[in-house]
Every structure is written in C-alpha cells, then in structure tokens.
A = this chain, B = another copy of it.
Amino acid sequence: MQEILVQQVKDHIQLSSEEEEFFLSLFTKKKIKRKHILVHEGEVNKYSSFVIGGILRLYSIDKNGFEHIIQFAPAGWWIGDITSLLSQKPGNLYIDAIEDSEILQILKPDIDLLYTKYPKFERYFRILAENALAAYQQRAISNLSQPAKERYLNFCRLYPSLVQHLPQKYVAAYIGVTPEFLSKMLSQPVSSK
C-alpha cells in the first residue's frame, strides 16, 4: 500500500533496499473517516502526511466562519500546514478528510533524522517543494488576473478528475467565490474558452 510513496521517491532518487526500508519505517499508517478533522487551528503541526487513498483538504476558517481551501490532496499528494511545520508554532489551518481516506504520517523530527542519516532525501523533498512552489505561483497569477469564471475553468483544466468527486461548494471555496455565486455561474452559458 505504501508502494505509491516509494515509487514517487524513486522517480527522483535511487534507493537501496536498506534506505527504502528505513524510510518506510518512519511512517505510520492512519485511516480518517469522511469529515474527520486531522489537524485543527491552534495546534502545532507535528506530522507531514502522504495520502494513499481518498481526498483531504487544507483550509482556513475566517472570522465570519467561512472556509477557504488552500489545497486538495488526493492519493499521491503530500499535505500539511507547512508554516506550522517549519516554525513549530501553532498553525491557523485545518485539515480534514473529504472522503474516507488513508494516509502515511511522518514526524518532523523523523524527517530531520532521515536527512541526517541519508542526505539524498534532501533531494526528493527539494524537488517536491520546488514543484509545489511553481504550482502556487501559477495559482497566485490566476487569482490576481482572472475573473471567477476563468478561475473555475482553470481549475477544471488543472484537476479534471478532482472536479468529478468534489461537492461544488468545495470548488467554490478553492477558487474564492461563494457557493451561490458558483451555482449561478454554472447555470449560465459557459463559453468554454
């Protein structure tokens, strides 16, 4: 079941069976039921999580009680409040499961241990962070320069398989509109480009 993680790592660095074994030994498997909260605002994030099944989301709740989704994480994705993870201070984000899900968790200190013992893992996580960075830059552009309709189309182009599974209101909370407004948008003629 953790092959998906190992496979992903091996796409970037070569692993001996000893390294692979040690790497996997640092993870704990965990199941999360739909709607269960994994990380709560105010907590110090101790774990990074790799999704092996289901879908999770990373989001904030603003002062008016509205949710805003920073990231979806289907199988094969990492998820975590990186600000809290790095600073080891209480975070302001939530993580919960949109569907029944299964994840592999690794403790922050164990990642550091991993780097110390096998520095080659720095490479994997560097590449991971750089790719995520590129994605966030693209999203920042989209948020700044496009109206809601195009942000929606953009999202559909980028994550076609996600759009199927997600309740519409989550898509709204990701692209930054109210569920009502998204609904109205979709009922109108959508010039598909």
Which A residues form the contact surface with B (CB < 8 A)?
Answer: 60, 62, 66, 68-71, 81-83, 86, 92-93, 115, 119-120, 122-123, 125-126, 129-134, 136-141, 143-146, 173, 176
Q: Chain B contacts of A138 at CB under 8 A? A: 83
**A86 and B176 contact, Cβ closer than 8 Å, known pairs A123-B119, A143-B140:** no
B137 near A86 with CB under 8 A, answer no
Q: Chain B contacts of A139 at CB under 8 A? A: 140
A3 to chain B, nearest CB (A): 24
Please pick, from B60, B132, B144, the residue contacting A141 in the complex, using a CB distance under 8 A: B60
For the residues of A in contact with B, the DSSP-based class is helix
The 10 closest A-B pairs by CB, nearest first: A129-B129, A136-B136, A126-B126, A68-B144, A122-B122, A62-B145, A83-B134, A68-B145, A82-B134, A144-B176
| Number of copies of this protein chain within its complex | 2
In angstroms, Cα B130 to Cα A136, docked, is 12
Q: Chain B contacts of A86 at CB under 8 A? A: 130-131, 134
A143 near B82 with CB under 8 A, answer no
A175, closest chain B residue (CB): B144
A27 to chain B, nearest CB (A): 19
Q: Chain B contacts of A81 at CB under 8 A? A: 137
Q: Chain B contacts of A69 at CB under 8 A? A: 144
In angstroms, Cα B80 to Cα A134, docked, is 10
Jot down 17 A-B pairs with beta carbons below 8 A, ordered by A. A60-B141, A60-B145, A66-B145, A68-B141, A69-B144, A70-B140, A70-B141, A82-B134, A92-B141, A93-B141, A115-B123, A126-B126, A126-B129, A129-B130, A136-B136, A143-B143, A143-B176
